[in-house]
């Protein structure tokens, strides 16, 4: 059954709905961020659990809401177990890195790849934890497969991706999603992934090229500018010493900067197409998902994120500048910390700078969670519908829970929800 056939011929019979309230989520995340600050970050396990519970329980498939049955305590335990593994690993990484650095500056690359593999292993296991804690109609999702196998594939594809400047990304995504979904099951119903890399490539190649363009323009422009200005000596300047080449360089730079403004649009379009492609490729038995997400559907979300982020930054800059003026301090020497050491800054002044910086960090974190997580979830879910949901009417339960080890690793390696 091809993807195109699904979206035009068959009418979806079960809408997906997101019933969550933006304000409720915003309050949840803001409160959570403040608590994270007070508890030195320990609250993150509870916050993550609460966020997932909110998102899951407000997502309804055919009228029945998903349920997240994970608990913060599991995340905490997973994290503690992960530390006992990561501790020695990081130590070994540091010592080995030191040793290799002596021979070649870039000999630490293999070690970086190893860490990357570890990260992918953690991501697979974390996904497994999350899936086994996802219940719909009393039946659990679960996963088979091996985290290391996935990690190996991921790293091999990465080795293809980098030399190709991202060209191979669609095929990499398809291959990894195929592996993940082949090993995903709902009860006794196995999943698979039927979209191909070529399909994704057809939709996003122009976005990718347009995204490269500003960088190429900027790079070319700067190179040209420096060659014309510096070309007075022995070597002849590449553009010839014509007055027009300086203008061309300047023009390229300006175009490049304008192009940078377009990047969020391009990113939003690319993400929307990726979501549409991915959801259309999911199969559980004969059940499929149809996604009506328009390519421009996520643009508003990303621009709001940028807009609010900029506003927060400007607010912080204004506050910090105003504060400096109020303190009547002379031209600052070094950062606030050096000034404190040299006795030029009263302790309360330093505390105020610290507080402003912390608020900045919290605000940006909250914005990121709201816009890159919840809003996107909301839009994608609202645009999707399930086909042949009748197949899910009587799926036998299967599958066991797994520990939150992967989540702990992901947390220790600093990435994840």
Partner 1 sequence: MFFDGRSSRRRTVALTFGDRLLIADIDAPGGPLASWPYDAIRRVDGAAGAMRLACTTAPPLARLELRDPAIRADILRRCPALDGPGSTSAVSVSRIVSASLAAAAAILAMVWFGMPLLADRLAVVLPYAWERPLGDAVDTRVRALFGAACEDPAGAAALHKLVGRLQEAARLPIAPEPVVLRSNVPNAFALPGGRVYVLAGLLDKSQSPDELAAVLSHELGHVANRDGLRRLLREGGTSFLVGLLFGDVTGSGTVLMTGRLVLSASHSRAAESDADAFAVKVMHSLGRPAAPMGALLQRITGSGEDGIPSILRDHPLTPDRMAMLEADDTPATGPALLAAAEWQALKRMCSG
Angle at 16 between CA 10 and CA 17, to 5 degrees: 145
Please identify, using beta-carbon distances, which residue of 43 and 278 lies nearer to partner 1.
Answer: 43
Judge contact between 125 and 399, C-beta under 8 A: no
In angstroms, give the least distance from the CB of 132 to partner 1.
Answer: 11
Instruction: State the first-to-last Cα distance of the chain, in angstroms, to the nearest integer.
Output: 34
Of 260, 161, 265, give the one whose Cα is nearest residue 217.
Answer: 260
The token pair at 363 is: 């605000």
Please identify, using beta-carbon distances, which residue of 325 and 393 lies nearer to partner 1.
Answer: 393
* Residues of the shown chain interacting with partner 1 in the complex, contacts defined by CB under 8 A: 19, 35-44, 46, 53, 56-58, 60, 64-65, 67-69, 72, 83, 86-87, 90-91, 94, 98-99, 101-102, 135-140, 186-187, 333, 337, 341, 354, 357-358, 361-362, 364-365, 392-397, 411-412, 414
In angstroms, how far apart are the furthest CA atoms of the chain?
Answer: 81
Judge contact between 60 and 67, C-beta under 8 A: no
Angle at 94 between CA 90 and CA 96, to 5 degrees: 115
Query: Which residues, in sequence order, are bridge partners of residue 142?
Result: 185
Please identify, using beta-carbon distances, which residue of 269 and 409 lies nearer to partner 1.
Answer: 409
Q: In which element (H, E) is residue 80 found? A: helix 72-103
In angstroms, give the least distance from the CB of 308 to partner 1.
Answer: 17
Query: Which residues, in sequence order, are bridge partners of residue 185?
Result: 142, 190
In angstroms, give the least distance from the CB of 145 to partner 1.
Answer: 22
In angstroms, give the least distance from the CB of 163 to partner 1.
Answer: 28
In angstroms, give the least distance from the CB of 315 to partner 1.
Answer: 16
Judge contact between 42 and 65, C-beta under 8 A: no
Please identify, using beta-carbon distances, which residue of 3 and 319 lies nearer to partner 1.
Answer: 319
Q: What is the DSSP letter of 41?
A: T
In angstroms, give the least distance from the CB of 79 to partner 1.
Answer: 8
In angstroms, give the least distance from the CB of 339 to partner 1.
Answer: 12
Query: Which residues, in sequence order, are bridge partners of residue 193?
Result: 282
Of 129, 137, 116, 169, give the one whose Cα is nearest residue 14.
Answer: 137
CA 378 from chain centre, in angstroms, equals 16
Please identify, using beta-carbon distances, which residue of 37 and 319 lies nearer to partner 1.
Answer: 37
Please identify, using beta-carbon distances, which residue of 73 and 322 lies nearer to partner 1.
Answer: 73
3-state secondary structure of 186: strand
In angstroms, give the least distance from the CB of 31 to partner 1.
Answer: 9
In angstroms, give the least distance from the CB of 159 to partner 1.
Answer: 27
Distance CA 291, CA 278 (A): 9
Strands (E), 237-363: 282-284, 287-291
In angstroms, give the least distance from the CB of 185 to partner 1.
Answer: 12
Q: Which residues have C-beta within 8 Å of that of residue 184, sequence separation ≥ 6?
A: 131, 141, 142, 143, 190, 191
Please identify, using beta-carbon distances, which residue of 150 and 186 lies nearer to partner 1.
Answer: 186
């Amino acid at each position: 059954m091809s993807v195109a056939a699904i979206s035009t011929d068959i009418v979806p019979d079960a809408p997906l709905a997101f019933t969550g309230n933006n304000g409720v989520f915003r309050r949840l995340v803001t409160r959570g961020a403040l608590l994270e600050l007070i508890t030195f970050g320990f609250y993150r396990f509870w916050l993550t659990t609460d966020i997932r519970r909110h998102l899951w329980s407000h997502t309804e498939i055919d009228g029945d809401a998903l349920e997240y049955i994970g608990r913060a305590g599991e995340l905490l335990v997973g994290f503690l177990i992960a530390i006992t593994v990561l501790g020695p690993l990081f130590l070994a990484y540091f010592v080995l890195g030191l040793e290799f650095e002596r021979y070649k500056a870039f000999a630490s690359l293999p070690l970086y790849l190893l860490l990357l593999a570890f990260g992918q292993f953690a991501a697979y296991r974390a996904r497994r934890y999350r899936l086994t804690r996802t219940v719909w109609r009393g039946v659990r999702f679960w996963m088979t497969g091996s985290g290391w196998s996935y990690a190996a594939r991921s790293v091999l594809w990465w080795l293809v991706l980098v030399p190709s400047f991202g060209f191979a990304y669609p095929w990499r995504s398809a291959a990894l999603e195929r592996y993940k979904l082949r090993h995903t099951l709902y009860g006794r119903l196995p999943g698979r992934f039927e979209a191909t890399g070529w399909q994704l490539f057809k939709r996003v190649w122009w976005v990718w090229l347009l995204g490269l363009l500003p960088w190429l323009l900027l790079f070319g422009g700067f190179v040209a500018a420096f060659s014309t200005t510096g070309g007075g000596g022995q070597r002849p300047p590449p553009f010839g010493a014509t007055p027009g080449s300086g203008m061309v360089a300047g023009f390229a730079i300006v175009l490049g900067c304008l192009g940078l403004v377009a990047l969020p649009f391009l990113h939003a379009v690319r993400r929307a197409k990726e979501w549409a492609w991915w959801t259309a490729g999911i199969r559980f038995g004969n059940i499929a998902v149809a996604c009506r997400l328009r390519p421009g559907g996520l643009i508003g979300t990303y621009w709001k994120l940028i807009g609010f982020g900029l506003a927060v930054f400007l607010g912080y800059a204004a506050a910090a500048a105003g504060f400096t003026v109020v303190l009547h301090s002379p031209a600052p020497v070094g950062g606030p910390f050096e000034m404190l050491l040299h006795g030029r800054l009263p302790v309360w002044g330093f505390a105020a700078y610290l507080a402003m910086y912390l608020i900045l960090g919290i605000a940006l974190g909250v914005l990121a969670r709201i816009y890159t997580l919840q809003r996107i979830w909301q839009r994608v879910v609202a645009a999707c519908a399930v086909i042949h949901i009748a197949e899910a009417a009587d799926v036998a339960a299967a599958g066991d829970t797994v520990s939150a080890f992967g989540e702990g690793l992901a947390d220790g390696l600093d990435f994840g929800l």
